[in-house]
Structure 1
């Protein structure tokens, strides 16, 4: 039963990566083009958009890889080990990096909101940094709980 649920989660991790890849291929160049049209006096904005969004895809896929590794550790009965704690720590740092990079893009969302006179666009821009910080906090809590469980387990192993 355990391997069936982890297989489902592994497939879900793979399917999470596909839409982000599609967004990076199709949407990011369009965003760069629109940003360059909005700010013709600042032609480097296109490349800044590319760096922010494509740059945040790198830690995203690294975090997905670490999540996949965590599922492999669960399959091999190594869930309560130090390597699982390290994987959670890497996921936490990746989420913080993604949130930081997308906070750099918030002025661009402000410009979109001013151009269309739609203040809700700013909240759309806050969605990814907020979700990333929630994931970072969740990973930090899991990391701390797992580390405490490992410490208790090793302490119990020493008393026996």
Structure 2
């Protein structure tokens, strides 16, 4: 096993473990939290629906991006890093990043509506959402930077 294959295998294992964590979050943790919050605040339980939709949409989109990253690492292992398949995977990952940003913004809007109804302070959750948008924007920018030379290389072929 050479260094490149060892590092891609390590990254694949990390992606797989992150995927398992996201799956466990969707199956076990999110429904449990929603049920507990609905019991504690029955008057605003209907506001959980947009948050759950955003959370599951985020999880599905994130899982698709993880799968595409896994495929990209497989292409790199097979010395197909400069191929149309790699470019397609990068495009899907970038679309997933923009979808995640949209879902986070939708969550912020839902949170602002909930704040108007309850009168609570939402500065903490909104700042966390904005940090998530920043991190996702950085990932989208990196993917865009990786796409350009790959596309130029494939156009020259």
Query: Which TM bucket (shorter chain)?
Result: 0.7 to 0.9
Match of 1:34 among 25, 32, 37: 37
What is the RMSD of the two structures over their aligned residues, measured on CA atoms?
Answer: 2.6
1:75–1:41 Cα change, 3 Å: closer
Q: Is the 8 A contact 1:49 1:105 kept in 2?
A: yes
Alpha-carbon separation, structure 1, partners of 2:41 and 2:147? 43
**Could you give the per-residue CA deviations for residues 4-61 of structure 1, whole angstroms, max 9, x where no partner exists?**
1110110111122233223323443315753786582672x22222211101111111
In structure 2, the residue matched to 1:157 is: none
Are 1:138 and 2:155 an aligned pair? Answer: no
In structure 1, the residue matched to 2:16 is: 14
Alpha-carbon separation, structure 2, partners of 1:35 and 1:149? 54
- Matched residue of 2:43: which SS? coil
Runs (5+) with no aligned partner, structure 2: none
**Could you give the per-residue CA deviations for residues 87-143 of structure 1, whole angstroms, max 9, x where no partner exists?**
10000001100110111111344557x62x463332112222222222112111111
Q: How many residues align?
A: 151
1:33-112 map, 5 Å: 34=37, 40=43, 43=46, 45-110=47-112, 111=114
**Could you give the per-residue CA deviations for residues 67-99 of structure 1, whole angstroms, max 9, x where no partner exists?**
011011011111101111011000000110011
Alpha-carbon separation, structure 1, partners of 2:61 and 2:111? 22
Structure 1 runs (4+) greater than 6 angstroms displaced: none
TM-score (norm 2): 0.81
